[in-house]
């Protein structure tokens, strides 16, 4: 049987042949690639050269086909995962983890890497070669290369089990999301909901064979508007509870998985010589230690909590005024926040939707990228797609008309896609078999879908999400390094959010909104008055929003710093460790943790704080743009050349100082957030 995963692509730019790849291709392709790699590694281990290319470049060329197949699978498993693909996920994970461990724990392979590392002073190496050699040596050590054989076996078994547990956690979260459906049969229960939402709910009902009713799912594009606008408190509570109790004491329960993950992560860190998983992770972060992270979070909490408590008191008072009751719960927050916003700012998100037609926002963000970085996006139809909703683009540098990247944009929710939004690489930028290749980058989102009568009209939050993920994409597309392991977003985890979060700032500037924010029916540009309200809304209830993120970050850090044996009850542990950041009382039967995929099935374990850390970087960096002009060519050039193009070739603080001329100022975030 021919296998497109093992054949050279015939498509432009070597695009992945999604049109011919099927679920049944993955396991045979992976097994074949692993066998080929193992045979090549046997030859590699007999070579005694300590030359950089003979050691590191050759090793990367040998293992890359395995990693490439797994990368395609992993991306599809998140973005387009029908049942037949999900069924092979466990075997794929087992095969890949075993191979990675076989390479990382092989004493003969490490012997060659160490010999190259030890002879580095005798070789004529570029700064980037020194960096990748140093990184490779440290990665081998951190993955157990210096351990005894019995300890290596323990690491191997732990990694295999951790891979399976993360997969199960993610599968449970997706299944729990898809399992819930709120069916509304009485039109009165739609009071307060926007017409566009009602139409979408009717279309979902039709799709679910419940014609004549309205259906609401737990997808964010439906969940958030329902909690924000529905006047039916009992239904708001019902959908809030369904969302907030996913994988908690139900058929998709993740509690046992969480406890096992925590134990394995701690035990793995201890074997490698660290006190706990947090200490292990933060050794290679800008923050450096759990103590520094905790101090950083505590500083922000001290500033934000007084504001947050005043904001909650204001919402309570509003409900008391309107309904003469003191009964105020978490599931009331979004609803009364929207009323307060309309009262104080004469503004609500639904006023903005007509100005944020998705196609206009996408064209606008391309124009902004052109003005900042001289990029051109050309939509193409000759690139295979993994789903009909995906749009494909070629990206060019207008300064020299050079091709930079393929770009895939996947905007709408479906049952075969995980919730949330993310950027990923299908192919990274950098050296492969003697050629420095350009990247294939994708952003995957879950935005409001078009209906029969209306195009996709985004909320302001969805617009900023698009700008955020596009910032990540720029980091990947503009990368100009030699080695893939240092390209694009392959940087310290608490630096990776700078390119994404800084882009959100442009979405709130009138100069940018004038580019794309036009009424989809009248063509009228968004008014200066409405833009001013958008700017003001950036500070609205910022204390509460900050405390929410700090609660998540602190919970993550505590999970990975304490002894796992102390986490006997997930809900009780969560309540205790988020108490300092709480501004609402707990609701029994709810949990952040059991669907907290970022830390239990993603890459953010002991790293969720990085969102706030990067906010300091982006606030300080954007102040520089504001001082010189948000489209200032010199500042944009500095950001492109020192941040977006450099990947992980230098320490992030050094790159930041080359761009900014100084270390970041925490005060910039407090000023922007109005928390001063």
Residues belonging to the active site = 469
Cα–Cα distance, 218 to 390 (Å, whole number): 22
Where helices occur in 18-88 by DSSP H, the ranges are: 23-45, 52, 58-79, 83-86
Q: How far apart are CA 312 and CA 298, in angstroms?
A: 20
Burial of 180 (0-12, 13-18, 19+ CB in 10 A): middle
Distance CA 525, CA 522 (A): 9
Q: Count CB neighbours of 529 within 10 A.
A: 9
Rounded-to-integer distance, Cα 443 and Cα 471, Å: 10
Distance CA 643, CA 490 (A): 12
Q: Which residues contact 627 (CB under 8 A, 6 or more apart)?
A: none
Instruction: Decide: residue 230, CB within 10 A, 0-12 exposed, 13-18 middle, 19+ buried.
Output: buried
Backbone angles phi, psi at 423, to 5 degrees: -110, 145
Cα separation, 225 vs 480, whole angstroms: 41
Query: Distance between the two ends of the chain, CA-based, in angstroms?
Result: 65
CB 369 within 8 Å of CB 403: no
CA distance 25 to 194: 45
| Phi, psi for residue 134 in degrees, rounded to 5 | -60, -45
Helix axes 666-673 and 290-323, enclosed angle (nearest 10): 10
Q: Kindly compute the dihedral angle of the four CA atoms of residues 306, 307, 313, 319, in this order, to the nearest 10 degrees.
A: -160
- CB-neighbour burial class of residue 209 (10 A; exposed 0-12, middle 13-18, buried 19+): exposed
């Amino acid at each position: 049987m021919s296998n497109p995963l093992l054949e050279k692509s015939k498509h432009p730019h070597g695009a992945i042949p999604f049109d011919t790849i099927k679920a049944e291709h993955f396991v045979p392709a992976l097994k074949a690639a692993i066998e080929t790699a193992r045979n090549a590694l046997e030859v590699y281990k007999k070579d005694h050269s300590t030359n950089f290319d003979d050691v590191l470049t050759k090793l990367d060329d040998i293992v890359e086909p395995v990693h490439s197949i797994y990368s395609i699978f992993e991306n599809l498993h998140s973005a387009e995962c029908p049942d037949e693909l999900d069924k092979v996920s466990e075997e794929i994970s087992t095969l890949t983890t075993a191979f990675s461990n076989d390479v990382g724990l092989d004493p003969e392979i490490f012997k060659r890497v160490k010999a190259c590392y030890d002879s580095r002073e005798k070789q004529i190496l570029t700064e980037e070669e020194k960096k990748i050699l140093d990184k490779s040596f440290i990665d081998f050590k951190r993955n157990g290369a210096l351990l005894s054989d019995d300890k290596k076996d323990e690491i191997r078994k732990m990694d295999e089990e951790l891979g399976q547990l993360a997969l199960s956690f993610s599968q449970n979260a997706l299944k729990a999301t898809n399992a819930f459906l709120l069916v509304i049969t009485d039109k009165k229960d739609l009071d307060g909901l926007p017409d566009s939402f009602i139409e979408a709910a009717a279309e979902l009902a039709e799709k679910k064979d419940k014609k004549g009713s309205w259906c609401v799912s737990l997808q964010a594009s439906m969940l958030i508007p329902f909690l924000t606008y529905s006047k039916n408190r009992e239904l708001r509570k019902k959908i809030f509870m369904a969302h907030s109790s996913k994988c908690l004491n139900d058929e998709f329960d993740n509690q046992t998985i969480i406890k096992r993950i925590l134990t394995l992560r701690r035990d793995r860190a201890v074997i490698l010589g660290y006190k706990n998983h947090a200490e292990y992770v933060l050794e290679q972060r800008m923050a450096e230690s759990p103590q520094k992270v905790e101090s950083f979070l505590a500083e922000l909490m001290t500033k934000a909590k007084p504001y947050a408590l005043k904001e909650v008191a204001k919402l309570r008072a509003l409900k008391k005024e309107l309904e003469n009751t003191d009964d105020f719960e978490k599931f009331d927050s979004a609803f009364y926040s929207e009323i307060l916003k309309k009262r104080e700012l004469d503004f609500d998100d639904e006023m903005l939707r007509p100005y944020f037609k998705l196609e206009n926002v996408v064209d606008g963000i391309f124009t902004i990228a052109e003005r900042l970085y001289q990029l051109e996006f050309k939509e193409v139809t000759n690139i295979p797609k993994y789903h009909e909703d995906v749009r494909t683009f070629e990206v060019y540098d207008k300064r020299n008309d050079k091709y930079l990247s393929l770009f895939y944009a996947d905007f709408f929710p479906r049952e075969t896609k995980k919730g949330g939004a993310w950027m990923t690489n299908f192919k990274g930028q950098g050296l492969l078999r003697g050629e420095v290749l350009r990247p294939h980058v994708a952003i995957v989102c879950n935005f409001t879908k078009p209906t029969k009568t209306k195009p996709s009209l985004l909320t302001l939050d969805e617009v900023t999400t698009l700008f955020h993920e596009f910032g990540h994409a720029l980091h990947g597309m503009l990368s100009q390094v030699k080695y893939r392991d240092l390209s694009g977003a392959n940087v310290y985890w608490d630096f990776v959010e700078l390119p994404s979060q800084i882009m959100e700032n442009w979405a709130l500037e009138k100069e940018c909104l004038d580019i794309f924010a036009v009424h989809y029916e009248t063509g009228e540009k968004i008014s200066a008055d409405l833009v001013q309200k958008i700017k003001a809304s950036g500070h609205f209830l910022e204390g509460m929003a900050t405390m929410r993120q700090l609660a998540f970050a602190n919970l993550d850090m505590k999970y990975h710093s304490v002894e796992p044996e102390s986490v006997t009850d997930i809900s009780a542990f969560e309540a205790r460790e988020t108490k300092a950041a709480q501004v609402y009382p707990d609701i029994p039967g709810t949990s952040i943790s059991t669907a907290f995929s970022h830390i239990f099935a993603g890459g953010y374990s002991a790293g969720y704080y990085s969102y706030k850390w990067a906010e300091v970087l982006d606030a300080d960096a954007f102040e520089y743009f504001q001082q010189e002009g948000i489209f200032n060519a010199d500042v944009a050039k500095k950001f492109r050349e020192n941040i977006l193009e450099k990947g992980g070739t230098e320490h992030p603080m050094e790159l930041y100082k080359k761009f900014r001329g100084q270390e970041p100022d925490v005060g910039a975030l407090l000023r922007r957030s109005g928390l001063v």
